[in-house]
Amino acid sequence: MKALPIAPAHIAWDEDGTPRAPAFGDVYHPRSGAQAQARAVFLAGNGLPRRWAGRGDFTIAETGFGLGHNLLATWAAWRDDPARPARLHFVSIDAHPPRAQDLARAHRDQPHQALAELLLRAWPAPVCGLHRLDFEAGALRLLLAFGDVQELLPQLVFAADAFYLDGFAPERNPRMWDARVLKALGRRAAPGATAATWSVARSVRDGLSGAGFVCERVEAAGDKRQTLRAQHMPRDRRRAASPAPDLADAADAPRRAIVVGAALAGACSAAALAALGFEVTVLERRVPQPGDNGSRLAGIFHATVHAEDSLHARVLRAGALHSTRLLAGLDPKRVPNDGSGLLRVERELDLAAMQARLDRLGLPKDFVQALDPLAASARAGVAITLPAWFYPSGGWVAPVALVMQRLSRPGVHCHYGSDVHALRREGRQWLALDEAGRVLARAPDVVLANAEQANALLASIGAPPFPLARERGQVSGFDGPVPLRCALAGDGYALPLPGGGLLCGATRQQDDDEPQLRDAEHDANFARLQRLCGLQAPADPAARHGRVGWRVYTSDRLPLAGPLPALQTAPGTRLDQARLLPREGGVHLACAFGSRGLTLAPLLAELVAARIAGTPLPLEQSLVDAVDPGRFVVRAARAAERDAALARAAADASLATAVRSRCA
Ligand SMILES: Cc1cc2nc3c(=O)[nH]c(=O)nc-3n(C[C@H](O)[C@H](O)[C@H](O)COP(=O)(O)OP(=O)(O)OC[C@H]3O[C@@H](n4cnc5c(N)ncnc54)[C@H](O)[C@@H]3O)c2cc1C
Ligand SMILES: C[S@@+](CC[C@H](N)C(=O)[O-])C[C@H]1O[C@@H](n2cnc3c(N)ncnc32)[C@H](O)[C@@H]1O
């Protein structure tokens, strides 16, 4: 979904403390209390906690997050249940999320204060799209979808075991209960899914029936005389009289995966998989330090604002928000970082044009602000002569420390000095082989997080290469006190190093394999630094330091994150959309992050892991497609179709000419 303004909820508080939405003419919950309703209608109505007992992953989807009472009641029930699922995924959509102060007020004198406090601390800026907030060390995952249900639901990829239908009353808010919305929920029902709501309105029952649910009215206590429970039972299953599968059996058997490469992408992929219950073998050819690429000391991460809110801008926005949340949860002593904002100097637009763009895109100021040079200079501590974008969800982080932190997660087993030369399939397993053909590791899933070297491993299984290019780059730095206070970008970038000093960069050369530092590139980096913020590097060349690395790009400058398309497709297979392509089971890519690894790798590693595990995807479908390796197959198929159409047109034209000349 392109950027759309998110209007936070306008909440009126009645004298008895009940929150009300004047725009909808309805209350957020019955006067008898939100928690009682959550337990009686939504949890009990979905057979919870009984139905989730012993499960590895259990997914609940809610329409209408509101003030999060249902989440908190469910979270508390999950905490209290010794048979709780290993991971609880809670997907919730809301077009008008509450402001933080309303959220705080709603839970002030309520049970579950401690949980509400955690939610409040993680509460995101009102930016449209998806925000994944992890609690309980990643065992409880809230995927907040900010946007209108009719626009956003088609973009969500999940299979829910239980639905909480909690929009305002259908007669006051028909948009939320529209038959198409209920059908879209039905398409996202896992086998055996149930749904519950307090509304027994005819339209809701009809809509749910049309979406494959069998509804039952249940006598209720409290404000409502009856509530609704429903079981997803699509017609084909009803005809076959096959009962819903028993989901209580799917205990969390340890799953295994291999990750090739232990730098940023590999470490993030391994951690994301381990958090989903996988035992992960990471194979890294280097010794002993991974992540040592380019900006080893620190690198920047941030979103970007694009006039048309391009796919790139949307992926970067999601990535920057995710990286900021990830870093906020890490110990800065262990992973030095500053996620408190980045300034990006604007060289083309003036302040008024920048503000107009923000207004048009509806991006809130806790996500991005347009600052005049004075305000930008005050924030940065150095002289900035142009206006600048300020991204609160941005900053810098020490990549090696981040990599080491990600690799230290239980379930991740890293083997250095393990150079993978080939992959081989053996039944349902993939084998990673060394140069001598010895098996380094075996698992049903393998993630190629080894940058451009992914193509060499794909060649070993007969897969065509992806269009990857490698670009050399050098960063430069010096020690000593600097006035720069935050990460700064524009033509080049600069950041204050932890413990003093500064890092700036970076140069770019195509097809250049030279690993040595070059003085001329230090000069170029320091000249750019001076243009950016007036700071000068020390004259003494001995005071300078730097690093060389390589960025890897695809031809469309978006990463490769997702499963490998099938090597062979049956005739007639649809190749026109990445999401429909058949896949080469078990091989996945997480590479080609270009110069934006710190912004993109943490989120896209979560995407890759979620696609492997079958858990809710943290990105909208259109963005999943944008980074899907399958997009190159789709483009090739379209180009082949165009060529064939042109050839047919040319053949028709020559036939017509031949016929004309015969007739003449
Ligand atoms: C000069 C410079 C400055 C940069 N500054 C920033 C910045 O400020 N912010 C930012 O976000 N990004 C920055 N980048 C980009 C960032 O470094 C990359 O996006 C990031 O390193 C990509 O990480 P990766 O894990 O995909 O790839 P890599 O870091 O290239 O790691 C791939 C890993 O795979 C291993 N490997 C390869 N083949 C095999 C094999 N066959 N078997 C086993 N292991 C294998 C390699 O040894 C390596 O460890 C910069 C890059 C450069 C060059
Ligand atoms: C009754 S409240 C939800 C209460 C919530 N489940 C809780 O536990 O606190 C209904 C919510 O639906 C949201 N909503 C209304 N219309 C919507 C729409 N078209 N798309 C998405 N959300 C909508 C409102 O913003 C509101 O927060």
pLDDT over threshold 90, residue 649: no
The pLDDT confidence band at residue 32, using thresholds 50, 70 and 90, is confident
Cβ of 434 below 6 Å from ligand 1:
no
pTM score: 0.95
> What CATH number is attached to the domain comprising 81?
3.40.50.150
Q: Are residues 174 and 281 in the same domain?
A: no
Q: Are residues 94 and 221 in the same domain?
A: yes
Residue showing tokens 């088609």 = 154
- Residue 60's SS3 state is strand
- Say if residues 141 and 87 touch (Cβ distance below 8 Å): yes
Q: Are residues 267 and 172 in the same domain?
A: no
Q: How far apart are CA 606 and CA 598, in angstroms?
A: 13
- Say if residues 471 and 557 touch (Cβ distance below 8 Å): no
The pLDDT confidence band at residue 216, using thresholds 50, 70 and 90, is very high
Q: Are residues 40 and 75 in the same domain?
A: yes
The residue to mutate among 148, 176, 177, 199, having the most atoms of ligand 2 within 8 angstroms of its beta carbon, is 176
More confidently predicted of 33 and 177: 177
Give the domain-ending residue among 528, 548, 568.
548
Shortest-distance ligand to the CA of residue 90: 2
CA dihedral for 91, 94, 100, 106, sign (positive or negative): negative
Q: Are residues 422 and 389 in the same domain?
A: no
Q: Are residues 88 and 128 in the same domain?
A: yes
Residue 324: inside a domain, yes or no? Answer: no
> What CATH number is attached to the domain comprising 275?
3.50.50.60
Q: Are residues 64 and 77 in the same domain?
A: yes
Other CB atoms within 10 A of residue 496 CB: 23
The pLDDT confidence band at residue 494, using thresholds 50, 70 and 90, is very high
The residue to mutate among 268, 287, 295, having the most atoms of ligand 1 within 8 angstroms of its beta carbon, is 295
Closest to 384 measured CA to CA, from 370, 373, 371: 373
In the predicted model, what is the mean pLDDT of residues 547-551? 95
In the predicted model, what is the mean pLDDT of residues 447-461? 98
Looking from the CA of 69 toward its CB, the CA atoms found within 13 Å total 26
Secondary structure in 3-state letters for 90-138? EEEEECCCCCHHHHHHHCCCCCCHHHHHHHHHHCCCCCCEEEEEEEHHH
What is the predicted pLDDT for the residue at 240?
A: 45
pLDDT in tens, 340-387: 899 999 999 999 999 999 999 999 999 999 999 999 999 999 999 999
The pLDDT confidence band at residue 664, using thresholds 50, 70 and 90, is low
Give the domain-ending residue among 495, 513, 548.
548
Q: Are residues 478 and 622 in the same domain?
A: no
pLDDT in tens, 264-315: 999 999 999 999 999 999 999 998 665 454 446 899 999 999 999 999 999 9
Cβ of 323 below 6 Å from ligand 1:
no
The residue to mutate among 26, 28, 92, 164, having the most atoms of ligand 2 within 8 angstroms of its beta carbon, is 28
pLDDT over threshold 70, residue 244: no
* Ligand 1, atom 13: closest residue by C-alpha: 595
Cα of 63 vs centre of ligand 2, distance in Å, is 6
Q: Which domain holds residue 261?
A: 255-290+401-467+556-635
Cβ of 419 below 6 Å from ligand 1:
yes
Q: Are residues 416 and 535 in the same domain?
A: no
- Say if residues 64 and 93 touch (Cβ distance below 8 Å): yes
Q: Are residues 221 and 106 in the same domain?
A: yes
pLDDT above 90 coverage of the chain, percent: 86
Q: Are residues 139 and 219 in the same domain?
A: yes
The residue to mutate among 282, 338, 503, 551, having the most atoms of ligand 1 within 8 angstroms of its beta carbon, is 551
Residue showing tokens 């198409």 = 180
What is the predicted pLDDT for the residue at 61?
A: 98
Cβ of 406 below 6 Å from ligand 1:
no
Cβ of 93 below 6 Å from ligand 2:
yes
Cα of 421 vs centre of ligand 2, distance in Å, is 52
The pLDDT confidence band at residue 238, using thresholds 50, 70 and 90, is low
Structure tokens at 521: 């590139």
Closest to 554 measured CA to CA, from 602, 626, 640: 626
Q: What is the DSSP string of 374-424?
A: HHHHHHHTS---S-EEEESS-EEE-HHHHHHHHHTSTTEEEEET----EEE
Other CB atoms within 10 A of residue 571 CB: 4
Q: Are residues 346 and 406 in the same domain?
A: no
- Residue 201's SS3 state is coil
Structure tokens at 198: 């307090």
In the predicted model, what is the mean pLDDT of residues 478-483? 93
Residue 434: inside a domain, yes or no? Answer: yes
Cα distance from N-terminal residue to C-terminal residue, the chain: 58
Q: How far apart are CA 214 and CA 65, in angstroms?
A: 24
Residue 314: inside a domain, yes or no? Answer: no
What is the predicted pLDDT for the residue at 3?
A: 72
Cβ of 477 below 6 Å from ligand 1:
no
- Say if residues 476 and 537 touch (Cβ distance below 8 Å): yes
What is the predicted pLDDT for the residue at 22?
A: 97
Cβ of 395 below 6 Å from ligand 1:
no
